[in-house]
Amino acid sequence: MARDEQLKERWNLLVEKLSVQFADGDTLDLDAIIYLIGVQELGQLHRKFKKDEKVNLMHIAICRLLEPYGYYEFDFIDDHGWPHYKVKEQLPNLKAGEQSVLMKEAVVNYFLQAEFIS
């Protein structure tokens, strides 16, 4: 199976599983899934987040997702339990479609590693 086809198949499976679990069957988009990863990485699952905290959760997720690609490196956890990352390498300038593919690949790899999908 071609790499792109496998990514698409895994992405669709992941979206379906997460949508059933977290959105009562409504289809989650990439941003919603990134947000869920941020909440998971923070580990404060049962609390409400303010708007600026939601942005920070997405930042945590993006850093965590792109860490295996060499763009970020975990640095420390602050006094409030929030993980911080440092930039190792600047992200290349990507077109919107290329960004989407990179993030979907990173998300799929995250959930493969967690054995949520196979």
| pLDDT at residue 24 in the model | 86
Q: What is the pTM of this model?
A: 0.92
Residue 109 neighbours by CB distance under 10 Å: 15
Average pLDDT value over all residues in the chain = 94
Residues 81-108 pLDDT 10s: 999 999 999 988 999 899 999 999 999 9
Q: Which residues of the chain have pLDDT under 50?
A: none
Q: Which residue from 55, 32, 45, 36 is spatially nearest to 81, judged by alpha carbons?
A: 45
- What is the percentage of the chain residues whose pLDDT exceeds 70? 99
